[in-house]
A and B are shown apart, each in its own frame.
Chain A
C-alpha cells in the first residue's frame, strides 16, 4: 500500500528525535529503520521463537542480515514455497525488509 512505507526522507528526522540516528543504515537505496523493524518483527515472533534441532521454523536472530534479506525477497517473489511465508513477505516493502534485517541482526533477545 503506497504511503504506508517509510521512505528515507521521513525516517531521518524521527530517528534524530529519538536518538537512534546511529542505528539507521542505508543499503541499496532502502532505509533501515530499527523502530519500524522492532514493530514488524513482533509479527515474526509468534512462530520464530523457540528453535529446537527438529524445528521447521528457524530462529531469526541467528540469521546474517544479507541472508535474511535474500530469503524474504525470494518468498516475496514466491520463489520459495511456504504459503504462510509468502503471505508475510508479500506485503513487505524493501525498506521494511531492511528494517527487519537490521532489527534482528542487532537484537539478541527480541
Chain B
C-alpha cells in the first residue's frame, strides 16, 4: 500500500476517525448548500455512480446526471436480441426510477467541461457547477481505422457496437439474408468494449442461420488480433453447434485488412476478397469525445485513472469510470463499469460527506452465449497493485463441460442482467 493510500485508509490501520475522514480533501463545509456531484453519461458506469451516491448519502449530496437519451438500450444482451432470443424492448430502459431515487436527470448532451471553473457546459449553453465530476461517456469509434469505413458507411455496414438504431439495422440485414449469402465481420483491435462480444455475436449470427436452415451460408471473421477472449471455448462450441459455418482468420491467414466498400459490400484483404451480404465492421475504439476534449485522455485515446479510487490522473476533482477509463487488467464491460462506479461512489461520498472510505475492490464476470443454453463465463477479482487495477484471481469456463452446467451459466447470466439493470436504472 502506498503512503497516500495508507493515509486515505488510515481508519483501517488504526488512525483516528477524524484523521481518516479528511485524508486529502476537506469535506464540504456545512452551510454552503449541499455538495454537488455531476455525472456525465447514464450508462452502466454513470447510472450506477449517480444512483449509489444518491442512495447511500441519503440526499446529503446533490446528484445530477447528464444523459441525452431518454431510453437506454444496453449493449449487453444485445447479441441475444441479434440471435432472436430477446426483444429490443427487453433490453431498453428508461430513467424514471433513477429520478425517483433522488437523482436529477437532465436529458441533454454535455458539450464541454470547464475544469478550471468546475462547470459542465450543456448543449444549450447552460452551465452546471460541480464539486466532484464523474465522466462515463463510454466509447467512440475510430471509423478511419478501417480503410473505406466511415460514420456514413455504418448505415450500410453496421458496427452495432453502440446500441440502439445500429443494432436494429444489423438485425434487419441479418433477417434479410438468403441461403448461400456470406456474412463478414471485422473484429476490432485491443482495447475495445466487451472482449468476447464479437465472437458471441458471430455465434448468434450462426444460430439464426441454423434456425432458418441456411446450410450454404458462411460467416467469416477477419480479426486484427492473433487470438481472442475465450477462444478455445468458442472454437469448440462453433464446431459442435455450427460445424463448418464460422471461419475465423487471424492476421497470418488474411494478411491484413486492406479496405471495405460499403456500396458493393466488398471487403479486401491482402490474401483475398469477399462479397458480404452482411458486413459487420467493428472498428478500433477510444474514450467518448467529451472525455478526450476535456483533456482527460492520454495518447492511447483512453483516460488514465488512479486505481485506488477511479480518479482521473489529470484532475483530482474528476472521476472516470467505465469503458472510457484505462482500468488495467479489467476488461471493458458493463460489469466492470458498474464495479468501478461503486468504488468511485464510495470515495465521492467520503470526500463530500465524511463517510468512511475503504480500500478499492473490483470484480467482473462476463457470460457469453454460444448457442441457446450453452453459455460460458470468464471473470476476475481485481485490486489496486503495481500502479494499475490488477487481477488478483481469475477463472474461465472449461472445455467439454456438462450441458447442465452451461445451462446454469445461461440462467445466471439472465439473473445478472436483471440484477445489473436494476442496479443501474433502479
Contacts and interface: CB of A to CB of B under 8 A. Distances in A.
Nearest to B20: A14
B136 to A, nearest CB: 16
Nearest to A91: B381
A28 interface: no
A18 B21 CA distance: 11
A40 B412 CA distance: 21
A29 to B, nearest CB: 18
B411 A46 contact: no
A94 B243 CA distance: 49
B163 to A, nearest CB: 19
B393 A87 contact: yes
Contact of A88 (B377, B381, B408): B381
B392 A91 contact: yes
Contacts of B16: 13
Interface string A22-63: 000000000000011011101101111111101111000000
A48 to B, nearest CB: 6
Contact of A49 (B52, B408, B423): B423
Interface in B202-226: none
A1 B420 contact: no
B339 A3 contact: no
Contacts of A50: 415, 418-419, 422
Interface residues of B, number: 44
Given A1-B383, A35-B355, A91-B381, A47 B415 contact: yes
A48 B346 contact: no
Interface in B49-78: 52, 56
Interface string A1-25: 1011110011001101110000000
A86 interface: yes
Nearest to B361: A43
B187 to A, nearest CB: 26
Nearest to A1: B383
Most chain B CB within a 10 A radius of its CB, from A4, A48, A54: A4
Contacts of A42: 52, 342, 345-346
Of B380, B383, B415, chain A has the most CB atoms within 10 Å of the CB of: B415
